[in-house]
Structure 1
Amino acid sequence: MYARIAVIGDTRLGEAGFSCRIAEALKRAGHAVTLCSANAPNAPLVIEASQRGFRPSIVFVEQRMLLSNKPIYQAVQKLGLPTVQFGDGVHVEMSDAAESSTLAGTYRDDAYIQACCSLPDGTRPHAVIVPHGLDDRVEGLLRRLEREASLSVERYAPLRGAAPLDLNLGVAAAIGRSAKLCLLFDGQWRMSAQDVAMRISEGCVVLVERSLADTWDGSLGDAVVLFDEGDLVETVSGLLASTSRYKACLQRQRVWLDALPLLDDALEDMFANDSLCKAAATLEHPSRDVVVYGWLGMQNFGDDLLLQVVADHVESRFPEAVVRVIGGDSERIKTEFGFDAVRANEHYRMFNMVRRASCVVFCGGLIFDDPFAFTPGDIELFVEPYMDPACQAGVCLMAWRFGVPALYLGAGLGPIAKPAARAALRYIGLAGARLLLRDQDSVKLALDCGYPSEQVAAYADLVLSARDTVLNRASDNLPSGLEPGRYFTVVLRDWPLNPPGFERALAAELDRIASQTGLTIAFVPFDPDDVHIHHRVADAMQTAQVVEVKTRLSMPDMLAVVKHSAMAVAMRLHCSILHHVLGKPAIGLDYNEKVGSHFREMERGDYLVSLDEVADRLSGAALRAWNDPEATKAEIEEGLDALRPKVEAAFQELFCAIEAHEPAPEEPEVYYPRARSQAAVDLEASRAHEQELASRVEALEGELSAARARIADLEQSTSYRLGHALVKVPHALFKRT
């Protein structure tokens, strides 16, 4: 049996930190795992949201984070779940919370020991590394060491809280394997015996400041070399000067490490014998990761709805599934949906996410020309792309690398006229991605671009299967001024091709609909940019029955608006589809091919209005649907009956791909010294240097201001004035003589 586990801990050293190693070991055992960084500013919100998206059955939390971080303690307590505390700290009582147990002691992680870095075997170009926070005392000691011993000291720690972006990836694990010695100092970021085991696993000799070692229980014995502040230079120089002594220290530390219990065995024992862990293990099958890619977290309701629909279907079929997301705003996805997420330009994290997946799902309208407008065009794929079709091609190639199926599920294409977009689509085809598209128009576009015909099929938009999502996830909240069933929803888009006079004509038609139905008009933005056109149209109307929603509502509140709406007039496709799914009339404003395709496939062409025909047709179509509700509902159900099987078939193909996937055998990890382009690394270094210089200038300016203030105070003092006056007398006498 397997559990859904939220691991919460210090992630500042990334894959070189014990929290990440715990998470990796639990994944190897088949558990569903999400890792929450306790160092992130929004960590409490992410932990709270994990209950909605990830739904953990048990929490593993690092003890020192409970002791040192009150918001983390409160967030864990609020979850009310069984808790396992790990680390070298004292067990922390969780008052008013569920039961808690402890994974006590120090462990070795053979998977981490067997890993290597990209350098040739035995190459360790750095003499010394320092893997934790630097205060002024430690920085002074390191500069003295560099000066007096002429050594290269590599610092890979957050400098006063500002960590380079790479550090919470695998870079720290690479740097740890590139040095001969590792120095652990006493200070605010206090290391533990488990940290020592991690550093010894990297193959360097560990030196520990004596005052830090004195805080431990003595379990290290003589495994580490101790030093005091005064003899640091002598101790380091002596070790590096004597090959025999250095090798003896390495051997002694390795013997100590080999005697430690194995982390994987300790976790297996916990889930076999610990009552809390046994009770939390309710999943019958090992976890499966499903990665969803899209314009997600960017406050576009249609795209975010697709994410929720896919997640609901996947988790309903596979209770052991873990949905992870590649999107536009990863932090918003974490806090609003509770899913693990990375941004679509974090290529290292994307790579690690994809290689563990059972499937990669692309959803939404993702492949079209516009994203290339501000890129280098055809070469975008090779210069760290973001979100656009070239980026999607890169993710498909990652999936191909590990034999992970990639599917565009209910997606739309077009327009695709530019060479860069057409080339990106062909790259996606070469990587073997299946296009399960939402309409025949998209299929034709794909084939015209040279996409392999055996990898393309027409299905339907996924939101056609969203009925359960709406009914189960809608809140009880409606915006002020709206009553259930007594309003119709208007969703527009500030489209650059809207014809002249469109907004005035639309305002007049909405007035006519409101006056003849008695319904309130609710302008509801599906995207934050929608509020501008909504406000202009509302201002041009005569009726007082208008409610303008000024911000994009949360997912549950948006679903509540749709659930209780009587009808829709919409440019946004998913507003129309959601109303159809609930058996309600919708008038589609045909600004884009995807809107027309949906209404034609639903055989609702009479309720599709082109933008330049709004004045002639809109109110007539809306009133016709409103005045004959039974016939309207029957016609909508007939259209849905034709399309629902297509959506079900698309999901069935997804489920088959997930079930058929066989994970590639795990190979020993290879860590690399950077996780971004060299240009990005250089830019980060330049900014850090600029920040350091600015801090030094600020400090010097402060000292200068203080000195000037002291001079001013002195000049105003009585003693100075008296002395100055006394000095003038001899000067005057001297001049006379």
Structure 2
Amino acid sequence: MKKFAIHGFYGQGNLGDEAILKALLQEFSKFPNIKVVVFCSKPKQVFRAHGVRSVNSQGRRNFLRRIWEIKTSDLFILGGGGLLKDYGNDSSSLKEWLRLLKFAKKLNIKTALCAVGVENIRYDESRKLIRDALDKVDVITVRDCSSKDILRDIRVANEVKVVSDPAVLLTNINTDKLEDNLVSPKVIICIRHWFSKGFYIEKPEINENFIRSLSIAADFLIEHYNKKIYFVPFRTTSYDDDRIVAKQVVSYMKHKDKIYIHSSAPEVDEFIEMVKQSSLVIGMRLHSLILGTSIGVPVIGLEYMPKVRAYMESIKQSEYSLDLETITSEKLINKILITFEKYKERSQVIGLEISRLKKLASTNIEDLIELTNSVRRR
């Protein structure tokens, strides 16, 4: 029996990160000789959601258990998700994410970065932290080319492979349903607070323009295509509540009777079922785009951080990705018009690219397992 320890942003009420963990657990469960333990800040939530043994990654109280869990593991995995970034005014968040990885290396445990996103590295201290922590890590995979470029700029010496987000493995494209998707009255919108360097919006006037532009485009979908708009939150914590932004958009809309704001973030499977019954996904939330395209539904990306454009480029859909700093209602409506005019064409391109990403994600899992084939249990 092999034991894999996975450390990530799990149990925090973020649908995207839960989709990543769900996919990893799904793939590892195909191998009966692998058991998994998850390191996270809220182990009870992870156990309730996924039924997997979990350990608190923080605090002195669980220190000895963390040592034992890592020491008795065959592989320590950091990821997936956008874990390597500067958030706030110093490198403290990066230090926290790299702490257990460095500890596993000291114990001579096999280590891996799995489909991690890297962006917004602003401090020299952070660059050194990453460079030192990733030295001699056995496998490093990132979820997009821009993440690889950043690690190269930081002078990480190890081989870095570009794979894809594990969440692409959660569902399959059903080409027989494309016609049903096209005529579906549902459009899903997944938006969030727009901040890149802390819990505040740096340019309120640009954010206001984005809110108004989206409200006009949503009204256009209702008037021109007779759609119903579903705002689906990915997170609803006190400091990161997608419903607040949705209400701001709706406050400017004319057709409030055709709007539905979900009261809470759905489970991953529930969101997938919603997308299967929709004609379009418009998203800031990265995994609304990943899960949408994994089903074959066309998406329009709203770039609040580079990872959105990076994903859209990876599936040859960058022309349907809009920078929030320069967005206008005219630009967004134009992308909507082109999407419905070229619906089948877009779906076919997405389908081909998703097939490629699924192979990359599966190969990533296989490489992690292969890494432990020569490991003997201690």
* TM, length-normalised to structure 2: 0.87
Partner of 2:290: 577
> Equivalent of 2:350, from 616, 630, 636?
636
Partner of 2:226: 518
Secondary structure of the corresponding residue to residue 282 of structure 2: strand
Unaligned regions of 5+ residues in structure 1, if any?
A: 1-286, 381-387, 472-483, 665-737
1:538 aligns with 2:250: yes
Partner of 1:486: 185
Q: Report which structure shows greater RCO (CA 8 Å, sep ≥6).
A: 2
Give me the whole-angstrom Cα distance separating, in 2, the residues matched to 1:343 and 1:626.
Answer: 47
Asked if structure 2 preserves the Cα contact closer than 8 Å seen for 1:355 and 1:398, the reply is no
Q: How does 1:115-134 map to 2 (within 5 A)?
A: none
Letter matched to residue 335 of structure 1? R
Q: Structure 1 residue 497: deviation in Å?
A: 4.8
Q: Structure 1 residue 536: deviation in Å?
A: 0.8
| Structure 1 residues 433 and 539: CA distance shift in structure 2, 3 A | farther
Partner of 2:371: 657
Q: Structure 1 residue 623: deviation in Å?
A: 2.6
> Equivalent of 2:73, from 333, 344, 357?
357
Partner of 1:332: 45
Give me the whole-angstrom Cα distance separating, in 2, the residues matched to 1:413 and 1:330.
Answer: 25
Give me the whole-angstrom Cα distance separating, in 2, the residues matched to 1:602 and 1:420.
Answer: 34
Partner of 1:466: 170
Q: Structure 1 residue 431: deviation in Å?
A: 5.0
> Equivalent of 1:368, from 79, 82, 85?
85
**Aligned pair count?**
351
Asked if structure 1 preserves the Cα contact closer than 8 Å seen for 2:275 and 2:297, the reply is no
Q: Structure 1 residue 630: deviation in Å?
A: 1.8
Partner of 1:314: 28
Give me the whole-angstrom Cα distance separating, in 1, the residues matched to 2:66 and 2:278.
Answer: 39
Give me the whole-angstrom Cα distance separating, in 1, the residues matched to 2:120 and 2:146.
Answer: 10
Secondary structure of the corresponding residue to residue 521 of structure 1: strand
| Structure 1 residues 633 and 497: CA distance shift in structure 2, 3 A | farther
Partner of 1:299: 13
Partner of 1:505: 213
Per-residue deviation, residues 213-262 of structure 1 (Å, max 9, x unmatched): xxxxxxxxxxxxxxxxxxxxxxxxxxxxxxxxxxxxxxxxxxxxxxxxxx
Give me the whole-angstrom Cα distance separating, in 2, the residues matched to 1:526 and 1:639.
Answer: 25
Q: Compare 528-537 and 389-398 and name the one that shifted more.
A: 389-398
Give me the whole-angstrom Cα distance separating, in 1, the residues matched to 2:35 and 2:287.
Answer: 26
* TM, length-normalised to structure 1: 0.46
Asked if structure 1 preserves the Cα contact closer than 8 Å seen for 2:209 and 2:328, the reply is no
| Structure 1 residues 426 and 626: CA distance shift in structure 2, 3 A | same
Give me the whole-angstrom Cα distance separating, in 1, the residues matched to 2:65 and 2:336.
Answer: 48
Asked if structure 1 preserves the Cα contact closer than 8 Å seen for 2:42 and 2:56, the reply is yes
Give me the whole-angstrom Cα distance separating, in 2, the residues matched to 1:302 and 1:431.
Answer: 29
Give me the whole-angstrom Cα distance separating, in 2, the residues matched to 1:630 and 1:414.
Answer: 33
Give me the whole-angstrom Cα distance separating, in 1, the residues matched to 2:214 and 2:372.
Answer: 46
Partner of 2:116: 411
Secondary structure of the corresponding residue to residue 364 of structure 1: strand
1:623 aligns with 2:337: yes
Q: Structure 1 residue 433: deviation in Å?
A: 4.8
Q: Structure 1 residue 312: deviation in Å?
A: 0.4
Letter matched to residue 461 of structure 1? D
Partner of 2:275: 562
Q: How does 1:679-690 map to 2 (within 5 A)?
A: none
Give me the whole-angstrom Cα distance separating, in 2, the residues matched to 1:333 and 1:461.
Answer: 20
Letter matched to residue 171 of structure 2? R
Asked if structure 1 preserves the Cα contact closer than 8 Å seen for 2:86 and 2:121, the reply is yes
> Equivalent of 1:394, from 99, 104, 112?
99
Q: Compare 581-590 and 337-346 and name the one that shifted more.
A: 337-346
| Structure 1 residues 350 and 486: CA distance shift in structure 2, 3 A | farther
Partner of 1:648: 362
Give me the whole-angstrom Cα distance separating, in 2, the residues matched to 1:517 and 1:297.
Answer: 38
Secondary structure of the corresponding residue to residue 264 of structure 2: coil
Secondary structure of the corresponding residue to residue 660 of structure 1: coil
Q: Structure 1 residue 402: deviation in Å?
A: 3.4
Partner of 2:263: 550
Letter matched to residue 249 of structure 2? V
> Equivalent of 1:440, from 142, 145, 155?
145
Partner of 1:598: 311
Asked if structure 2 preserves the Cα contact closer than 8 Å seen for 1:490 and 1:522, the reply is yes
Asked if structure 2 preserves the Cα contact closer than 8 Å seen for 1:513 and 1:623, the reply is no
| Structure 1 residues 368 and 433: CA distance shift in structure 2, 3 A | farther
Secondary structure of the corresponding residue to residue 312 of structure 1: helix
